[in-house]
């Protein structure tokens, strides 16, 4: 017998167990006896770990005072961080000049906000400001000139130095990485060989040895008396190192695009650079956002390695502080603080990348 449906089935709400907090908990945490026991045990362990940390970091911690003697030492002695805060933030940058760094932060924050947010419709001028004008301003602001007292880079330090290292390396690594990736896919054999050679050489060496080479060996090749700034050497080393990684990340994105995209661009009469800039790179970079940000985060944390060539970044400054005889025994506070600062920055980058991915998502993937 033939079956014919004459009436439309009414629309029903989804079953309760699949919606809401209770539905979620029932499904994920208490779906069987074993899961229920696991949930209870994990909750117990998590409670103790979190409680112990809060106990140390907040409940029994000391915030007031000026010296080690003001701390009861039942919990964290944040007085240490408070007393050394200036140095942790700016290194040995002269106190009277520290406003310059703050001005730099504010100008940078404005630029980043304009470029990353949706406030301005056209991104052209914010981008010109952030990527061309701002670095020039920063150079004079931080180093000196135009009536500002010169502050040698050996006095730079703390979080300020970490941020300088990270932003300059990121700023150089991304465009250089893109060029290396395009070069590696070029049809010109010489260009391709140079790019492959560079990438493979740098990637096969640990960052520490790149930094050592930059600080110890580079001066040997330079003419007598010519002394390259230590910070510049570290910046060159880190930028080249991250550019090699970035190149491979971008190449992955380029390879993921169907060949038809380039063919369509060509068939419309777009030249190589137009096709790359308007069609291929926007898509390839979008695909690679997670890996690009991953590389940035790795780079940001790797800035701590400059410690070994005698630069005083955030970690080194705090480490030096913990060895101060007035503050002995407070290493935990120092390292927890450093970890927290790094976490804030890296977590911020990660959230931004997720936001950006969602924003750039256009319809179904094919």
The smaller minimum CB distance to another protein, of residues 196 and 270, is found at 270
Find out whether 177 and 198 touch, Cβ atoms under 8 Å: no
Q: Rounded to the nearest whole angstrom, what is the least distance from the CB of residue 269 to another protein in the complex?
A: 4
35: Cβ–Cβ under 8 A, 6 or more apart, which residues? 29
The smaller minimum CB distance to another protein, of residues 82 and 286, is found at 286
Q: Rounded to the nearest whole angstrom, what is the least distance from the CB of residue 228 to another protein in the complex?
A: 41
Please tell me the distance from the alpha carbon of residue 130 to that of residue 108, in angstroms, as a whole number. 7
Find out whether 66 and 79 touch, Cβ atoms under 8 Å: yes
The smaller minimum CB distance to another protein, of residues 189 and 363, is found at 363
366 binds another protein (CB under 8 A): yes
88: its two tokens = 């942790």
Distances (CA, A) of 286 to 135, 152, 252: 25, 39, 11
**Residues 264-303 vs another protein: string with x where CB under 8 A?**
xxxxxxxx--x---xx--xx--x-----------------
Q: Rounded to the nearest whole angstrom, what is the least distance from the CB of residue 361 to another protein in the complex?
A: 9
Helix H or strand E encompassing 101: helix 98-116
Find out whether 333 and 80 touch, Cβ atoms under 8 Å: yes
Q: Rounded to the nearest whole angstrom, what is the least distance from the CB of residue 358 to another protein in the complex?
A: 14
The smaller minimum CB distance to another protein, of residues 274 and 304, is found at 274
The smaller minimum CB distance to another protein, of residues 259 and 325, is found at 259
The smaller minimum CB distance to another protein, of residues 69 and 187, is found at 187
The smaller minimum CB distance to another protein, of residues 257 and 341, is found at 257
Q: Rounded to the nearest whole angstrom, what is the least distance from the CB of residue 279 to another protein in the complex?
A: 6
Q: Rounded to the nearest whole angstrom, what is the least distance from the CB of residue 270 to another protein in the complex?
A: 6
Sign of CA dihedral 160, 166, 171, 176: positive
Size of the site for another protein (CB under 8 A): 24
Largest Cα–Cα separation, the chain: 100
Radius of gyration of the chain (CA): 27
Strand partners for 148:
145
Q: Rounded to the nearest whole angstrom, what is the least distance from the CB of residue 362 to another protein in the complex?
A: 4
Distances (CA, A) of 345 to 65, 140, 182: 29, 25, 30
The smaller minimum CB distance to another protein, of residues 165 and 281, is found at 281
Residues 198-237, interacting with another protein (CB under 8 A): none
Q: Rounded to the nearest whole angstrom, what is the least distance from the CB of residue 285 to another protein in the complex?
A: 10
Q: Rounded to the nearest whole angstrom, what is the least distance from the CB of residue 271 to another protein in the complex?
A: 6
Helix H or strand E encompassing 199: helix 189-203
Quick check: helix, strand or coil at residue 156? strand
Residues 321-360, interacting with another protein (CB under 8 A): 360
Find out whether 314 and 338 touch, Cβ atoms under 8 Å: yes
306: its two tokens = 């400059």
246: its two tokens = 């970035």
The smaller minimum CB distance to another protein, of residues 52 and 268, is found at 268
Please tell me the distance from the alpha carbon of residue 15 to that of residue 18, in angstroms, as a whole number. 6
Find out whether 75 and 60 touch, Cβ atoms under 8 Å: yes
Residues 238-267, interacting with another protein (CB under 8 A): 258, 260-261, 263-267
Question: Which residue ranges make up the site for another protein (CB under 8 A)?
Answer: 258, 260-261, 263-271, 274, 278-279, 282-283, 286, 360, 362-366
């Amino acid at each position: 017998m033939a079956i014919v449906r004459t009436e439309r089935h009414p629309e029903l709400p989804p079953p309760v167990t699949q919606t809401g907090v209770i539905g979620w908990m029932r499904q994920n945490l208490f779906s069987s006896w074993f899961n229920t026991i696991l949930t209870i045990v994990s909750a117990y362990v998590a409670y103790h770990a979190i409680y112990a940390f809060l106990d140390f970091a907040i409940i029994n911690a000391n915030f007031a005072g000026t010296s080690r003697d003001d701390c009861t030492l039942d919990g964290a002695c944040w007085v240490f961080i408070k007393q050394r805060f200036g140095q942790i933030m700016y290194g040995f940058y002269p106190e009277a000049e520290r406003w310059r760094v703050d001005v730099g932060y504010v100008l940078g924050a404005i630029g980043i906000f304009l470029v990353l947010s949706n406030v301005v419709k056209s991104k052209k001028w914010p981008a010109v400001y952030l990527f061309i004008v701002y670095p020039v301003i920063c150079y004079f602001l931080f180093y000196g000139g135009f009536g500002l007292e010169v502050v040698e880079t050996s006095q730079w330090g703390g979080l300020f130095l970490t941020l300088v290292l990270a932003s300059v390396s990121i700023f150089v690594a991304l465009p250089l990485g893109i060029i290396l990736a395009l070069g590696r896919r070029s049809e010109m054999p010489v260009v391709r060989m140079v790019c492959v050679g560079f990438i493979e050489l740098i990637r096969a060496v640990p960052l520490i040895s790149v930094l050592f080479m930059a600080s110890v060996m580079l001066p040997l090749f330079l003419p007598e008396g010519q002394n390259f700034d230590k910070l510049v050497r570290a910046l060159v080393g880190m930028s080249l190192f991250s550019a090699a990684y970035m190149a491979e990340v971008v190449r992955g994105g380029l390879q993921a695009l169907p060949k038809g995209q380039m063919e369509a661009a060509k068939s419309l009469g777009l030249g190589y650079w137009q096709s790359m800039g308007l069609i291929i790179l926007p898509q390839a970079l979008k695909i690679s956002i997670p890996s690009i940000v991953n590389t940035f985060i790795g780079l940001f944390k790797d800035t701590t390695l400059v410690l070994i060539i005698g630069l005083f970044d955030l970690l080194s400054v705090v480490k030096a502080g913990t060895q101060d005889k007035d503050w002995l025994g407070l290493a935990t506070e120092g390292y927890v603080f450093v970890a927290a600062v790094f976490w804030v920055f890296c977590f911020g980058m990660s959230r931004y990348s997720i936001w950006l991915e969602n924003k750039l998502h256009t319809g179904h993937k094919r």
